[in-house]
Amino acid sequence: MIPDDLLASLQIYLKAAKVTHGGFCYQKAFGRVAVHDDPLMVMVHKRLLPIAEMMFGIPLRRSNCYTAIYGKKGVLPKHLDKPQCEFSLDVCIDDTAPETPWQLYVEGVEYILRPGEGIMYYGCKQVHWREGSPKPGQEITMAFFHFVDERFKGGLRE
């Protein structure tokens, strides 16, 4: 999904951004630090638009993207996304303990994402979640790229 050279650059960039608090804020409810619409990730989001259009089979618009780093208190309860996340592309950027993956479930089907791998699904229609939390000492960096039908009428950043 993400070429190795770009993936390595994103890993370095996001580790540095987290340390320098480059827009990241702690989201206690999910046990993660996250940043919305980081400029570099917005560039990646733009590059992924044609891929998302090809995979979902319709013309799309980018809505929002965010990056989250989950630690030992990370949680992702069962949920559906808001309308601005109609078409979702989740990409694993990094996992400090890939031998103990933190599985993602979409409609009850288990997926294991390794760094550079992603999954596309219908965020507003398909229930998705993760069981438990990452292992102590493990950090999982995920990028979430969201799209809507090009005819979408609502605000894109709500």
Per-residue pLDDT reduced to its tens digit, 3-23? 898 989 999 988 887 766 667
**pLDDT band per the 50, 70, 90 thresholds, residue 156:** confident
**pLDDT band per the 50, 70, 90 thresholds, residue 62:** very high
* Domain ranges for the chain: 4-149
pTM of this structure: 0.91
Q: Which CATH number fits domain 4-149: 3.30.420.40, 2.60.120.10, 3.40.50.410, 2.60.120.620?
A: 2.60.120.620
Q: What is the pLDDT of residue 40?
A: 92
Q: What is the pLDDT of residue 127?
A: 98
pLDDT in tens, 30-42: 999 999 999 999 9
Q: What is the pLDDT of residue 124?
A: 96
Instruction: Centre a 10 Å sphere on the Cβ of residue 120 and count the other Cβ atoms it contains.
Output: 19
Q: Round to whole Å and give the CA distance between 27 and 136.
A: 18
Match 């000492």 to its residue by tokens. Answer: 137
142: exposed, middle or buried (Cβ count in 10 Å: 0-12, 13-18, 19+): buried
The mean pLDDT of 136-151, rounded to a whole number, is: 96
Q: What is the pLDDT of residue 61?
A: 97
Q: Round to whole Å and give the CA distance between 150 and 148.
A: 6
Per DSSP, the residues of 80-123 read ---GGGSEEEEEEEEES-TTS---EEETTEEE---TT-EEEE-T
Per DSSP, the residues of 140-153 read EEEEEEEEEETT--
Q: What is the pLDDT of residue 130?
A: 97
Q: What is the pLDDT of residue 107?
A: 98
Q: Round to whole Å and give the CA distance between 143 and 13.
A: 13
Q: What is the pLDDT of residue 33?
A: 92
- CB contact at 8 A, 10 and 42: no
